[in-house]
Amino acid sequence: MGTLQKLTGTEDILPITQFVGQEIKVADVGIWQRVEAIAREILHRAAYREIRTPIFEQTALFERGIGEATDVVGKEMYTFKDRGDRALTLRPENTAGVARAYIQHSLYAQGGAQRLWYSGPMFRYERPQKGRQRQFSQLGVEVIGSRDPRADAEVIAIATDILQAVGLKNLSFYLNSVGNQSDRQAYREALVEYLTPYKDELDADSRDRLSRNPLRILDSKDAKTQEIVQSAPSILAYLCDDSRQHFDTVQQLLTDLNIVYQLNPCLVRGLDYYTHTAFEIQSADLGAQATVCGGGRYDGLITELGGPDTAAVGWAMGLERLTLLLQQLQESQPPELDFYLVSRGEQAEGQTLAIAQRLRQAGFSVEIDLSSSAFGKQFKRADRSGAVGCLILGDSEAEHGTLQLKWLRTEEQQELSQADLPSAIPQLRQHIQQQRQSL
């Protein structure tokens, strides 16, 4: 029997940088942690608070929340019966789950808008390819409880801040408005009327969508369909005065923030509850799966799920696509380590864990070499570990209750007393800081 392999469409994110074949670099967890730390900081500064909802939910939540006519619900969900015969689904996205939690815990009773963010795995049964997986991660925000166009502009500004702060360039930002429910209804009819004569020339998916979800035809990737759609009526011509005004204000706010955007009237989000603002941020460096971030306003969702009439806006970012872009940009960095602890001999080895724990509890990071191999080999690993200092414990040190410390960057060496280690800590801390700064 062969060894077991990960499932198609899933990835291992390893703590080391790896090359597969000549160039493809497997994601390194350091990139992920950097992205997450930057995003967390930016979200914190904007007063967004993290929400964690379950990874599986009742299937009905997604059928109602996302809409049965969508690809996600129709073709892509991981749905199963559990042992209690309940219909469950691994979440394909998290707006529905957050909206459910908002209603269930009456978060509207807190007053004002709830600014929420989440990050975690999503699951869709798709054809795996670069930038498209079956388990993937999204970072997302939701502002629930505000109709104000400043909320639309704020979430957009935060998305662009995060992408800029992680170092991405060559991004394009596309913006559209899909109006309110009745604008959309009027537009939908006009679009179906325009497309029906071309029915036989549309790609199979689009033909199928003509009755179920015609707006989604606008973002078909098929060349012939795209050509037909070029001359279709524009949704922007169907916006009522209120919708128009909301959209104008959003654009004005973005301009005031120096956020460059392009209007794209073909950009729709296929779901029924979407209203007004829709946007996508794309990268030219990603090939076919170009969209890094997609979002918009969804004033209809909370009522659709049985909650009070509540306006909301948000977005989700695909973190695999983001890390793919970052891998093209930079080398990963070794983790920061304060001390690498080498030892040899039974008595010395017996003392290592207590020393490491004392230093760790004082705030240092310490890696213990467990190999019992020759000192020479352990020193080589110490050099490669990126540690600032190497702690050395041999027979003689064990005997005398001492410890040699070699500062790896300057090659200085000093002797420490194990018993006096607590009093040496301020000096060690200062020395590590100096060595790091002098790099």
- Of 138, 213, 251, 283, the one binding ligand ATP by CB under 6 A: 138
Least distance between ligand ATP and beta carbon 126 (Å): 5
Least distance between ligand ATP and beta carbon 321 (Å): 5
One character per residue 24-63, x = contact with ligand ATP (rule: CB under 6 A): ----------------------------------------
Nearer to ligand ATP, 93 or 205 (CB): 93
Taking CB under 6 A as the binding criterion, the range among 80-88, 125-133, 250-258, 407-415 that sits at the site for ligand ATP is: 125-133
Residue type, 340: Y
Q: Phi/psi of residue 15, each to 5°?
A: -80, 5
Nearer to ligand ATP, 27 or 356 (CB): 27
Least distance between ligand ATP and beta carbon 136 (Å): 3
Nearer to ligand ATP, 117 or 364 (CB): 117
Least distance between ligand ATP and beta carbon 23 (Å): 20
Least distance between ligand ATP and beta carbon 323 (Å): 11
Residue type, 220: S
Q: Phi/psi of residue 78, each to 5°?
A: -90, 95
Nearer to ligand ATP, 48 or 62 (CB): 62
* C-alpha–C-alpha distance, residues 198 and 218, integer Å: 14
Least distance between ligand ATP and beta carbon 265 (Å): 17
205 is an interface residue for ligand ATP by CB under 6 A: no
Least distance between ligand ATP and beta carbon 248 (Å): 25
11 is an interface residue for ligand ATP by CB under 6 A: no
Asked whether the beta carbons of 92 and 76 are under 8 A apart, the reply is yes
Nearest-CB residue to ligand ATP?
Answer: 318
C-beta atoms surrounding 69 within 10 Å: 17
C-beta atoms surrounding 410 within 10 Å: 12
Give the CA count within 13 Å in the CB-facing half-sphere of 285. 13
132 is an interface residue for ligand ATP by CB under 6 A: yes
Number of residues near ligand ATP (by CB under 6 A): 17
Question: Hey, which residues between 254 and 313 contact ligand ATP (CB under 6 A)?
Answer: 289, 291-294
Least distance between ligand ATP and beta carbon 163 (Å): 11
115's CB contacts (< 8 A; 6+ apart) are 46, 47, 48, 49, 141, 142, 143
Nearer to ligand ATP, 119 or 243 (CB): 119
136 is an interface residue for ligand ATP by CB under 6 A: yes
Nearer to ligand ATP, 175 or 390 (CB): 175
352 is an interface residue for ligand ATP by CB under 6 A: no
133 is an interface residue for ligand ATP by CB under 6 A: yes
93 is an interface residue for ligand ATP by CB under 6 A: yes
98 is an interface residue for ligand ATP by CB under 6 A: no
320 is an interface residue for ligand ATP by CB under 6 A: yes
Binding site for ligand ATP (CB under 6 A): 93, 124, 126, 131-133, 136, 138, 289, 291-294, 316, 318, 320-321
